[in-house]
Amino acid sequence: MPPIRIIESRNAAALDRFLRPRAQRGAAFERRVRRIVDGVRAGGDRALVRFARRFDGMSPPLEVSVREMRTGAARVEPAVRRALAQAAEHIARVAFHQIPPHWDAAVAPGVWVEQRVEPLARVGCYVPGGRFPLPSSLLMTAVPARVAGVREIVAVCPRPEPPVMAAALEAGVTTMFRVGGAHAIAAMAFGTRLLPRVDKIVGPGNRYVAVAKAIVAGSCAIDFHAGPTEIVVVAGTGHASWIAADLVAQAEHDPEARSIFITWNRTLARRVATALRDLSTGRAIAQRALSTRGAVIVTRSDREAIELANRIAPEHLVLDGEALARRPLTAGSVFIGRMTAPAAGDYAIGSNHVLPTAGAARFRGGLSAADFVRVMSVQRMTRDGLARLTPTILSLARAEGLTAHAESIEIRLK
């Protein structure tokens, strides 16, 4: 592996080149994905099965029965089943606090507003099945949905290995299908005879999944457009090997993963660069990601380091202490202190690891139980309450030229 790049923040041109967003997928690729989506929308189950055979190597039946899930789960080592149970418990504990509260407020005498929170009826959880089975991703999507009160949880996975089946049972999945890619997204968005239409699609996936979610977003709610994983570590002190280990851990996900260490300590910068080379040896995916998307950035101060991290708005932000954490932060998820390893968040802390990437943390956080509910305003008024608001309503309605609005108020008070 070539030496990890070290960039000085004062070299603005080099820094800008490194941080410049990757080019979006081309129009030709989007057309290819759209053909798959349109094919399933028009062709239903026949098209879905055809694509599943072609892209996933699927052998019927499409649906994974509860009996099959139980048989698969029984093959999972007891230690793994216990780990899934504890992870699910922690995710549920956090998710419970994420549900928006119901409340009633008296706005004025005779005027009340209620916030009513209702769960979505049916959601679809996408579980990647590429390089590795990812039962943790199923827990992170299905458990918050269950806690939010969703009655039907549909999971799709192109190759549901036994640990994924065990996670499905632990999370409360109601139906599972062995299908993935853009065709699975289309089926959940529009529905087929076998695979029901859902109200919202959540979960990470490859570039086909990301583009398909963007295409169907006008017809079905999605969580967000997730890309390759990202981590930014900001530290001025610490163990170089620990810092490097966190960066390599994220880099092993994907050759396009971005791993960045930002520091104002030149000695630590060199030590981390060396540790990255050593720890990634023999890990082809991590080496490729670090060589193309990894860097150590040396800033002039800790303040500049945080400003740069916020500019990146990473999926994972790791800080070596509370002093840095007291500043305004922009990230999908923040890990504070040397013992708070991001990998712990991936599996066991209970915070969600389905997180925004590519700068989307500027405007939203990770997946939560709040993503699985509808928040509605419910209004109630008495005659006296309406009379009290009438001068305000009539003035604004007439200022906007909407005379029928004004008349709808006046007719009630005559």
Average pLDDT in the chain: 94
What is the C-alpha separation between 347 and 83, in angstroms, rounded? 9
The parent domain of residue 356 ranges over 228-362
Q: What is the DSSP letter of 21?
A: P
Residue 368, in any domain of the structure: no
CATH number assigned to the domain comprising residue 240: 3.40.50.1980
What is the C-alpha separation between 341 and 181, in angstroms, rounded? 31
Structure confidence by residue, pLDDT tens digits, 284-332: 999 999 999 999 999 999 999 999 999 999 999 999 999 999 999 999 9
What is the C-alpha separation between 258 and 260, in angstroms, rounded? 7
Q: Are residues 96 and 177 in the same domain?
A: yes
What is the C-alpha separation between 114 and 376, in angstroms, rounded? 8
One-letter amino acid identity for 45?
Answer: D
Q: Are residues 289 and 399 in the same domain?
A: no
What is the C-alpha separation between 184 and 259, in angstroms, rounded? 30
Residue 22, in any domain of the structure: no
Mean pLDDT score, 266-277: 96
Q: Are residues 240 and 268 in the same domain?
A: yes
Helices (H), 191-265: 207-216, 240-251
Residues ≥6 apart with Cβ < 8 Å to 12? none
Residue 315 bears catalytic tag: yes
Q: Which of 224, 244, 273 is the last residue of a domain?
A: 224
Phi (first) and psi of residue 208, to 5 degrees:
-65, -40
Tokens of 97: 């606090």
What is the C-alpha separation between 44 and 191, in angstroms, rounded? 8
Residues ≥6 apart with Cβ < 8 Å to 11? none
What is the C-alpha separation between 287 and 290, in angstroms, rounded? 5
Structure confidence by residue, pLDDT tens digits, 82-126: 999 999 999 999 999 999 999 999 999 999 999 999 999 999 999
- Tell me which residue has tokens 């070539």: 2
Q: Is the pLDDT of residue 206 over 80?
A: yes
Q: Which of 192, 224, 256 is the last residue of a domain?
A: 224
Q: Are residues 190 and 247 in the same domain?
A: no
Q: Are residues 201 and 237 in the same domain?
A: no
3-class secondary structure, 230: strand
Catalytic residue among 97, 316, 353, 405: 316
Mean pLDDT score, 243-248: 97
Q: Which of 182, 208, 224 is the last residue of a domain?
A: 224
6 forms beta bridges with: 296
CA dihedral 307, 311, 315, 320 (to 10 degrees): -10
Residue 271, in any domain of the structure: yes
Q: What does the pLDDT read at residue 105?
A: 98
Structure confidence by residue, pLDDT tens digits, 150-205: 999 999 999 999 999 999 999 999 999 999 999 999 999 999 999 999 999 999 88
Q: What is the pTM of this model?
A: 0.92
Q: Are residues 214 and 134 in the same domain?
A: yes
Number of domains in the chain: 3
Q: Is the pLDDT of residue 23 over 70?
A: no
